[in-house]
Amino acid sequence: MKLLWFHLMPYTDLPEDFAERHASVWVDIDPGLFDPRRGHALYNEFMDELEVAAELGFDGVCVNEHHANAYGLMPSPNLIAASLARRTRDCAIVLMGNSLALYNPPTRVAEEMAMIDCISGGRVVAGFPVGTPMDTCYAYGRNPSQLRQRYLEAHDLVLRAWTEPAPFDFHGRFNQLRYVNTWPRPVQQPHPPIWIPGGGSIETWRWCAERDYVYSYLSYFGYKAGAATMRRFWNEMDALGKDRNPYRAGFLQFVGVGESRQEALQLYREPAEYFYGRCLHVDPRYATAPGYASEATQRARVESMVARAAKGAAGGQGAASSFDDIVERGYVVVGSPDEVAERLREVATELGVGHLMLLLQFGNMDRQLTLHNTELFAKRVLPQLSDLFDDEWEDLWWPRPLPAAARVRPRELAT
Amino acid sequence: MAAAAAGRRPGEAARAGDVSSRTQSTRNDEPGAPTARNVRVGGLDCRVWEKGEGELLGFLGGLRGLPRWTPFLERLAQQRRVVAPSLPGFPGARGHDQLDDLADWVSATLDLLEASGLEGHDLVGASVGATLAAEAAAFSRGSVRRLVLAAPLGIWDPEQPVADLWAQKPRELPALLSSHPERLANCLARPEHHDAVEWQILLARADEAAARLLWPFGDLGLAKRLHRVRAPTLLVWGSEDRVVPPSYAKRFANAIGGWTEVREIADAGHVVEIDQPDLAADAVLAFLS
């Protein structure tokens, strides 16, 4: 299986009483809470962490896009990816990804990803999320009821921009371009593998199946909550006549490794509570936008609400915020290297996930703790897992870089 | 114009999956219910409600359209022949995802006015319906005789920004929109014969249609066109409008090219015709008499 190191790049200095004193970590987060001097340190630490992960043998490093968000400091993941393309050698660079409907024109995405694919020698994975309402509709002002149509149109445009052999014109509902001509072209031909980060909608699964894309379920709530979703995903793949190749799927999991379970429980309590208490403090005013969810999704939601009301049952349980609950519910897998390896083997097998994306830095973990977690994982967990699935399945969705001998090595810094 | 009146089609069977046909209140059996027919606009069936005798008076509904016949329209129908067509995406009509830009919306509005026989007659609009009534009057002077705009959106005053309707907690929305939330609730309440899930979807589609036109600010640049509105215009505003502050009444009045009158109604919020149906209707009838 593939083990990938995923960075959200959270701001680590939100005050302790953040959730009480501030309405939201996202959209209207107080800009006064951002200290650019800390920003300087954090970006460099975070980029170091991604580079170390690559050196320690993770199969890939992942970055993603958020806007006006204190737990995701990458409005442009492509900037980080460009640096990683120079400062890492063999690992995949997984852009998880670019919210296509936000780029105007969307050919910008085709161009930038092609640049990074060239710089890295063909190591890019192209992730195309629709994006959350907070990022796309509120922070970026996109009309929610056009977002999906814009996304799909932009997808078609980017694909053609990568693959058409001659300049062409594109006359879409939202994009009109007389001349589309992508220079440069990606090293990976016809284009980098495409992964679709999603939240569990059946339309997205069908679309991934139809296009033969990786579906990547990015939830912050761990394998226990994710199991039901992934079961439905695989049932849908069965129904659509697709095989159960685990490399069709990606899954995000928070992990904290210690020398012992005891140590892990001590080390990761504070950062986990920081993430689930402060980073996920999102004002519900921004959680939905009219038209963001498809009518089918809305109907499913209303039906389950009506059914619950009819049974007189209360709404679903809220997200856990205390460490004991966080661990109990599987949001974060914590333990000794062997315990974590065993649990992740079960997770990968049960959920049928060949691309496991690991959040080994989360919340306010500092560099020292992050590197401790990363090293323990790389040296003592990763070797126990890396051959999983490979006797049976081939990863058809992994980058195909130039041979090592054909790749240029960046020069070392003089000082 | 693509619109053509399809005429009255009583008892017309709903097409499979055509939720708006299935759920619309054409079979409204409540006492005093309006008659209903469908007209086609851009290939979409749009419901047209009608009640009363006398001179024609058109009405374009507000943010959630007309899920039910309202006391305001009932009062107007005592003196006028009230015709209330549903705009695409709003209750009584499908097509919440078909109109992209202002040109699409204005053209659909003009089609709808023509198809429902309202072209050249008096027209009342509320909130988003008032916005489109004003746009119609600006783009096509002949489309409207006299105009009543109840709390229209469409212009922007940086000193008095319009509230963000689409970033509210659901439980706080009624008090933002209305000074009498129980009256608003009545206008949105599910009729007994109606499917509970589909009723929610109907309202969600209306929200989507309104946002489709107005996201993110509700500023359509209408200020640049209001000088073209030559129809005598009444601006009706709730004195407690917390969505579009009452100061906008004057801005509209100053910008409109025709003769204008402003009527502020006390104890009413943004949904002024729902909060104070009798006072609002009387103001409309007095202006048009």
Tell me how far apart the alpha carbons of residues B234 and B146 are, in angstroms, rounded to a whole number: 8
pTM: 0.92
- Domain range summary for chain B, segments of one domain joined by +: 31-288
Nearest-by-CA chain A residue for B169: A285
Q: pLDDT by residue (tens digit) across B145-200?
A: 999 999 999 999 999 999 999 999 989 999 999 999 999 999 999 999 999 999 99
Q: pLDDT by residue (tens digit) across B185-201?
A: 999 999 999 999 999 99
Residue B138's pLDDT is what? 98
Contacts of A143 in chain B (CB under 8 A): 211-212, 215-216
Q: What is the DSSP letter of B62?
A: B
Q: Is residue A411 part of a domain?
A: no
Q: Chain B residues within 8 A (CB-CB) of chain A?
A: 96-97, 100, 166-169, 196-197, 200-201, 204-205, 207-212, 215-216
CATH number of the domain bearing residue A396? 3.20.20.30
Nearest C-alpha neighbor of A273 from the set A20, A3, A16, A26: A16
A289 touches chain B (CB under 8 A): yes
Asked if B100 and A144 come within 8 Å (Cβ–Cβ), the reply is no
3-state secondary structure of B22: helix
| Cα radius of gyration (chain B) | 17
State the residue for tokens 């209306």: B206
- Contact present, B104 and B132 (Cβ < 8 Å): no
What average pLDDT does chain B have?
90
What's the average model confidence in pLDDT over B100-113? 97
State the residue for tokens 């008032």: B130
**Which sign does the torsion angle of CA A40, A43, A48, A51 carry?**
negative
Q: Is residue A307 part of a domain?
A: no
Confidence grade of residue B88 (pLDDT, cut at 50, 70, 90) = very high
Asked if B212 and A145 come within 8 Å (Cβ–Cβ), the reply is yes
Q: What is the DSSP letter of A279?
A: I
State the CATH architecture for B31-288. 3-Layer(aba) Sandwich (3.40)
The alpha carbon torsion through A201, A205, A210, A216 (nearest 10 deg) reads: 120
Confidence grade of residue B20 (pLDDT, cut at 50, 70, 90) = very low
**Does residue B11 register a pLDDT over 80?**
no
Structure tokens given for A289: 């936008």
State the residue for tokens 């899920």: B67
**Does residue A15 register a pLDDT over 80?**
yes
Min distance B28 CA to chain A CA atoms (Å): 24
Looking at chain B, the whole-number percentage of residues with pLDDT higher than 90 is 86
Residue A56's pLDDT is what? 98
Residue A317's pLDDT is what? 57
Residue B2's pLDDT is what? 38
Interface of A with B in 160-179 (CB under 8 A): 173-174
Which one of A143, A148, A175, A286 makes the best mutation probe of the B interface by having the most chain B beta carbons within 10 Å?
Answer: A143
Phi then psi for B248, rounded to 5 degrees? -70, -25
Residue B31's pLDDT is what? 63
Residue A309's pLDDT is what? 72
Asked if A299 and B207 come within 8 Å (Cβ–Cβ), the reply is no
Q: Is residue A305 part of a domain?
A: no
Nearest C-alpha neighbor of A96 from the set A145, A130, A144: A130
Phi then psi for A198, rounded to 5 degrees? -150, 170
A137 touches chain B (CB under 8 A): yes
Asked if A306 and B168 come within 8 Å (Cβ–Cβ), the reply is no
The alpha carbon torsion through B50, B56, B62, B68 (nearest 10 deg) reads: -20
- Contact present, B73 and B51 (Cβ < 8 Å): yes
- Contact present, B47 and B87 (Cβ < 8 Å): no
List, in sequence order, every beta strand (DSSP E) within B93-143. 121-126
Q: pLDDT by residue (tens digit) across A72-105?
A: 999 999 999 999 999 999 999 999 999 999 999 9
Q: What is the DSSP letter of B4?
A: B
Q: Is residue A30 part of a domain?
A: yes
The parent domain of residue A341 ranges over: 2-296+335-406
A138 touches chain B (CB under 8 A): yes
Nearest-by-CA chain B residue for A141: B216
- Contact present, A200 and A217 (Cβ < 8 Å): yes
- Contact present, A160 and A177 (Cβ < 8 Å): no
Indicate the number of domains in chain A. 1
3-state secondary structure of B240: coil
Residue A303's pLDDT is what? 85
Which one of B156, B197, B217 makes the best mutation probe of the A interface by having the most chain A beta carbons within 10 Å?
Answer: B197
A224 touches chain B (CB under 8 A): no
Tell me how far apart the alpha carbons of residues B128 and B113 are, in angstroms, rounded to a whole number: 15
- Contact present, A124 and A81 (Cβ < 8 Å): yes
Residue A313's pLDDT is what? 56
Structure tokens given for B39: 């007209």
Q: Is residue A397 part of a domain?
A: yes
Tell me how far apart the alpha carbons of residues A117 and B255 are, in angstroms, rounded to a whole number: 54
ipTM beyond cut 0.95: no
Q: pLDDT by residue (tens digit) across A286-300?
A: 988 999 988 888 888
- Contact present, A195 and A140 (Cβ < 8 Å): no
What's the average model confidence in pLDDT over B247-268? 98
Amino acid at A309: A
- Contact present, B44 and B252 (Cβ < 8 Å): no
User: In a 10 Å sphere around its CB, with 0-12 CB exposed, 13-18 middle and 19+ buried, how is residue B276 labelled?
Assistant: buried
User: In a 10 Å sphere around its CB, with 0-12 CB exposed, 13-18 middle and 19+ buried, how is residue A384 labelled?
Assistant: middle
User: In a 10 Å sphere around its CB, with 0-12 CB exposed, 13-18 middle and 19+ buried, how is residue B169 labelled?
Assistant: exposed
Q: pLDDT by residue (tens digit) across A139-187?
A: 999 999 999 999 999 999 999 999 999 999 999 999 999 999 999 999 9
Beta bridge partners of A251: A217, A356
- Contact present, A350 and A249 (Cβ < 8 Å): no
**Does residue A314 register a pLDDT over 60?**
no
Residue A116's pLDDT is what? 98
E strand or H helix at A300: helix A295-311
Alpha helix (H) residue ranges in B125-172: 128-139
Q: Is residue A320 part of a domain?
A: no
Q: Would you give the distance in Å from CA B110 to the centre of its chain?
A: 14
Min distance B161 CA to chain A CA atoms (Å): 16
- Contact present, B210 and A290 (Cβ < 8 Å): yes
Nearest C-alpha neighbor of A214 from the set A227, A222, A204, A224: A204
